[in-house]
């Protein structure tokens, strides 16, 4: 889509017409199909897995099918809460007015562990690969100086900490054991 501004220059210049054949080639080896693309994806080597994914995408993108099917499937798996809505392509939650368990007040980092304290006084530990740091400067993003923590994994072991702006990140994370 022209409104998506994060395509790599290589992908923008590729001239690819997306169909079953080109999508299969992309899924097989994105770097071979479009050298220097910025996609952090090495491809799917198994032909059957690619065929299954292509069949799913074809069905899920039929007019009227995707939102209903995805919302039902993910809502059932995730209990229909905020996380299910986000993963199913639903509305992103407004992070302006946070409940205390969502409002991050401090973050410490020691060796391979982050400890995130929220406004309700609870501190949770996350392995550094399970805590993802993001920014959201949109109208629904968090207030400046009030980062939000939201679930990001199906097993409850991963979270996103979302800041209003990049410059807030290093100010919030304190190296401390």
Pairing label, strands 123-127, 104-110: unpaired
Task: Report the C-alpha gap between 148 and 15 in whole angstroms.
Answer: 39
For the chain, give every domain's residue range: 9-87, 100-175
pTM of the model as a whole: 0.53
Helices H, strands E: what count in the chain?
7, 7
Q: What is the CATH number of domain 9-87?
A: 1.10.760.10
Does residue 78 register a pLDDT over 50? no
Q: pLDDT band for position 69 (50/70/90)?
A: very low
Q: What is the mean pLDDT of residues 94-123?
A: 92
**How large is the average pLDDT for residues 88-96?**
67
């Amino acid at each position: 889509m022209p409104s998506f501004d994060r395509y790599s220059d290589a992908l923008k210049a590729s001239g690819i017409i997306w169909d079953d054949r080109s999508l299969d080639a992309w899924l097989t080896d994105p770097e071979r199909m479009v050298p220097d693309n910025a996609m952090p994806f090495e491809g799917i080597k198994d032909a059957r897995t690619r065929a299954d994914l292509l069949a799913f995408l074809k069905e899920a993108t039929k007019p009227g099918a995707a939102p209903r099917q995805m919302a039902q499937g993910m809502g059932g798996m995730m209990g229909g809460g905020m996380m299910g809505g986000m993963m199913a392509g639903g509305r992103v939650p407004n992070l302006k007015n946070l409940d205390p368990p969502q409002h991050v007040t401090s973050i410490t980092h020691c060796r391979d562990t982050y400890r995130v304290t929220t406004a309700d006084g609870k501190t949770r530990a996350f392995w550094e690969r399970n805590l993802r740091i993001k920014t959201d400067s949109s109208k629904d993003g968090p207030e400046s100086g009030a980062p939000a923590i939201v679930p990001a994994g199906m097993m409850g072991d991963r979270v996103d900490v979302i800041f209003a702006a990049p410059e807030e990140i290093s100010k919030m994370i304190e190296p401390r054991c």
